[in-house]
């Protein structure tokens, strides 16, 4: 058996196997991409290309799940603009361009990490939770109980699930940062890391609380991208180690390196 080259990126036209609307304007898209399923790490992303001439730029989307046996990769995205709307209109059997796997993912060496996510940031955390196979718990934040579908996606992955909603219609009323200190300070708490993906304001708040509890914290950043390969510098950011590219050096960074 030859081991897959973990750093090799591919650009393929992948056949769509499933396209399902999970909630209003939120879609789950699965494609046949065995090369990417074999090597993609939790927290990595791909650049999707709608195979139609009017799209010049690709759309970055996190890997939400992989099925190595079937050679399939799943993404969850919100249809918010022209590109994602066109993506949502694609049917099983049609093709979409997939470039990846890209970037660096989350640390996978922790024994009991707490995953914290909000909104579409929960998508890459699904793959992280699956890879940790029950060793990771998840704290998810949403606006209302309408975002219940995420709890159903996380339920089969093992681990405990904690929920906050802005309006209190599900779980604890408030933000993830409202509940996080309680979780980290609970008598039986044994978290050794906090892995976060969501709106930047949420990630900053979570990182602050993690730091106060002496826990390593990794955050997944989002920036407009061009190439996805570290060449065009559309997604450059300031870090403790100078300028870095979200697409190549991230999207996952230690919180203290990027929230200066």
Instruction: Provide the binding-site residues for another protein, judged by CB under 8 A.
Output: 8-11, 49, 53-58, 82-83, 97, 99, 224-227, 229-236, 238, 243, 248
Q: How far is the CB of 233 from another protein (least distance, A)?
A: 5
Give the residue with the Cβ less far from another protein, 10 or 22: 10
Q: Please state whether beta strands 26-32 and 72-78 pair in parallel, antiparallel, or not at all (unpaired).
A: antiparallel
CA distance 78 to 238: 28
Q: How far is the CB of 9 from another protein (least distance, A)?
A: 5
b or e along 92-131 (b: 16 or more beta carbons within 10 Å of the residue's beta carbon)? Answer: eeebbbbbbbbbbbbbeebeebbbbbbbbbbbbbbbbbbb
Give the residue with the Cβ less far from another protein, 4 or 181: 4
Give the residue with the Cβ less far from another protein, 137 or 222: 222
Q: How far is the CB of 224 from another protein (least distance, A)?
A: 5
Q: Please state whether beta strands 193-197 and 113-118 pair in parallel, antiparallel, or not at all (unpaired).
A: parallel
- Sequential DSSP letters for 57-103: S-EEEE--EEETTTTEEEEEEE--SHHHHHHHT--TTSEEEEEEEES
Give the residue with the Cβ less far from another protein, 78 or 248: 248
Give the residue with the Cβ less far from another protein, 48 or 196: 48
Q: How far is the CB of 80 from another protein (least distance, A)?
A: 13
CA distance 132 to 42: 10
Q: How far is the CB of 47 from another protein (least distance, A)?
A: 9
């Amino acid at each position: 058996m030859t081991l897959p080259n973990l750093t090799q990126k591919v650009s393929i036209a992948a056949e769509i196997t499933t396209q399902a609307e999970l909630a209003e304007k939120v879609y789950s898209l699965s494609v046949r991409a065995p090369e990417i399923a074999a090597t993609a790490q939790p927290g990595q992303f791909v650049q999707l290309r709608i195979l139609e001439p009017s799209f010049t730029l690709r759309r970055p989307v996190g890997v939400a799940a992989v099925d190595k046996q079937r050679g399939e990769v799943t993404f969850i995205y919100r249809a918010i603009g022209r590109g994602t709307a066109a993506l949502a209109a694609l049917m099983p059997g049609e093709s979409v361009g997939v470039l990846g796997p890209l970037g660096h993912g989350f640390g996978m060496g922790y024994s009991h990490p707490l995953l914290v996510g909000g909104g579409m940031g929960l998508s890459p955390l699904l793959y992280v939770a699956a890879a940790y196979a029950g060793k990771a718990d998840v704290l998810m934040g949403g606006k209302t109980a309408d975002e219940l579908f995420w709890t159903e996606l996380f339920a089969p992955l093992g681990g405990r699930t904690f929920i906050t909603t802005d309006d209190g219609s599900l779980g604890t009323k408030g933000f993830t940062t409202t509940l996080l200190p309680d979780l980290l300070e609970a008598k039986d708490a044994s978290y050794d890391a906090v892995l976060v993906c969501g709106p930047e304001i949420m990630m900053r708040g979570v990182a602050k609380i993690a730091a106060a509890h002496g826990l390593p914290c990794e955050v997944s950043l989002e920036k407009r991208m061009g190439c996805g390969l570290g060449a065009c510098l559309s997604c450059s950011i300031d870090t403790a180690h100078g300028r870095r590219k979200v697409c190549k050096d991230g999207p996952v960074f230690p919180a203290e390196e990027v929230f200066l």
